[in-house]
Amino acid sequence: MFYLENIYISFFLIIIFGVILNYILIKRFKILGLSNLLDSDYNKPQSFHNVSIPRIGGLAFYIIFVCIIFFFTKRFYYDLFFLASVCFFIGFADDIKLINSPSLRLFLLFLSINLIIYYFGIETPKFQILGLDEIISKNNLLRISLLSICFLFIINGSNFIDGYNGLLLIQFVIILMILIIINFNYLNFELLFLSCLFLSISVSLLLFNFPRAKLFLGDSGSYLIGGVSSYLLIKTSISTKLIIPPFFYACIIYYIFFEVVFSFFRKLIIEKKNPLHPDSKHLHMLLFKFLNKKSNNHIANYKTSLSLNLIYILSISPLIFFYENLFLLKMYFFCLLALYTFIYYLLRYLNSNSH
């Protein structure tokens, strides 16, 4: 009970600290030498704001995270610390226009995550796909590379959907709440503690990002959230592998996975374009375009976030009835693929036929 009481106390202390820090950064970011983090580019495809907003959410997240690691945890999580630091600094380099090449960012992320997985011996959850687990068990390089790709999917997927007020943060909050319930039920107290602490950071940021944004996460924030999500999902999957199949966690992260993978193959195969170049045809952008016909820019912005997260909650809710059944989880994974593909093309049809 004492441990749980510490979680509750830490949760509220971090929210208070986060709110104070975010307020200071928003009000004093120019004095602090952070003027180059001001987002005033309204013409890029993934831009949906018309006033200058500082991209300091990632910086605030990282500062609070470092404080958590040093002062709120019983032991120092070196693997999590280095993973989060790599994600933050590579994203931050893009926020300050130090790295402008998407290919270079991907390469640096892939290389760094490979080294972290190798050095800290991060385990790989069972994929449970037609002999794949047996193959990677005999090839450590392949195992590390596949696990790194899983990290990259979630990190880049998080970056994809970070364009609307609250979309990524609300998604992260929902995922964290699911992980909190799982880790509480299976007595994984370290992962429970970490999930609660990251939930408190997210809540403190969400207060300034939704419904009207006072700050943006930036690439540093979206990469950091993607890295933390990957870490917690993989660690929780490994801790419950004898009870909850990894496909359950694949379904939990499905929306983020869909946005990045579907967009990649859409650009590469259907549209014959560079899949690394941004465009305005992602699922969340099509929904925004549809909603924006019936309301103003600001309302359509946060309605997009609420709508997509509501669809997400409704689509994963049936999982509670068969979360231990591998066969049904695999079938449901492909049902989710069909559902989101249908929604995507329905929105394209509605947008193309509306006046």
Residue with tokens 């996975």: 257
DSSP secondary structure letters along 153-194 = HHHHHHHHHTTSTTHHHHHHHHHHHHHHHHHHHTT-HHHHHH
Model pLDDT, residue 54? 87
Nearest to 91 by CA among 227, 221, 275, 202: 221
Q: Is the dihedral of CA 133, 138, 144, 146 positive or negative?
A: negative
Instruction: Using the predicted structure, report yes or no on whether residue 179 has a pLDDT greater than 60.
Output: yes
Give me the mean pLDDT over the 208-222 stretch.
91
Least confident among 107-116, 143-152, 298-307: 298-307
- Give yes or no for a contact between 95 and 162, defined as CB atoms under 8 angstroms apart: no
- Cβ 223 vs Cβ 155: under 8 Å: yes
- Per-residue pLDDT at 336: 95
Structure token digits, residue 248: 């359950």
How many angstroms separate the CA atoms of 245 and 284, rounded?
A: 29
Q: Is residue 201's pLDDT more than 60? A: yes
Q: Half-sphere exposure (CA, 13 Å, Cβ side) for 341?
A: 10
Q: What pLDDT does residue 355 have?
A: 53
Question: Shortest CA distance to 19 belongs to which of 179, 209, 284?
Answer: 209
- pLDDT confidence tier of residue 41, bands split at 50, 70 and 90: low
pLDDT of res. 40: 60
Q: What is the number of other CB atoms lying within 10 angstroms of the CB of residue 295? A: 11
Which of 98, 94, 315 minimizes the C-alpha distance to 222? Answer: 94
User: Which of 101-110, 157-166, 262-271 is least confident?
Assistant: 262-271
Q: Return the H-helix or E-strand segment holding 39.
A: strand 38-39
Q: Is the pLDDT of residue 119 over 90?
A: yes
- Can you state the angle between helices 297-316 and 326-353, rounded to 10 degrees? 150
* CA–CA dist 135, 125 (Å, integer): 14
Considering the entire predicted model, what is its pTM? Answer: 0.92
**Is the pLDDT assigned to residue 216 strictly greater than 50?**
yes
Mean pLDDT (whole number) for 229-245: 91
Asked whether residue 229 carries a pLDDT value surpassing 70, the answer given is yes
pLDDT attached to residue 263: 86
Q: Is residue 2 very low, low, confident or very high in pLDDT (cuts 50, 70, 90)?
A: very low
Give the DSSP letter of residue 37: G
CA dist 150 and 171 (Å) reads: 18
User: What is the distance between the alpha carbons of residues 69 and 197, in angstroms, rounded to a whole number?
Assistant: 10
- Whether the predicted pLDDT of 65 surpasses 60: yes
pLDDT at 73: 73
Percent of the chain with pLDDT over 90: 53
Report the pLDDT value the prediction gives residue 8, as an integer from 0 to 100.
Answer: 74
Q: Is the pLDDT of residue 46 over 60?
A: no
Among 249, 225, 234, 262, CA closest to 316: 249
Give residue 236's pLDDT: 95
Q: How high is the mean pLDDT of the chain?
A: 87
Report the C-alpha gap between 88 and 66 in whole angstroms: 11
Mean pLDDT of 44-53: 61
Flag whether pLDDT at 1 surpasses 70: no
pLDDT of residue 294: 72
Would you place residue 317 in the very low, low, confident or very high pLDDT band (cuts 50, 70, 90)?
Answer: very high
Q: Which tokens go with 259?
A: 């946005």
Q: What is the pLDDT of residue 238?
A: 92
What average pLDDT does the segment 131-149 reach? 86
Q: What is the pLDDT of residue 107?
A: 93
Q: How far apart are CA 292 and CA 280, in angstroms?
A: 14
In which band, very low, low, confident or very high, does the pLDDT at 235 lie, cut at 50, 70 and 90?
very high
Distance between CA atoms of residues 81 and 212, nearest Å: 31
% of the chain at pLDDT higher than 70: 93
Quote the pLDDT of residue 230.
Answer: 95
| pLDDT over threshold 70, residue 217 | yes
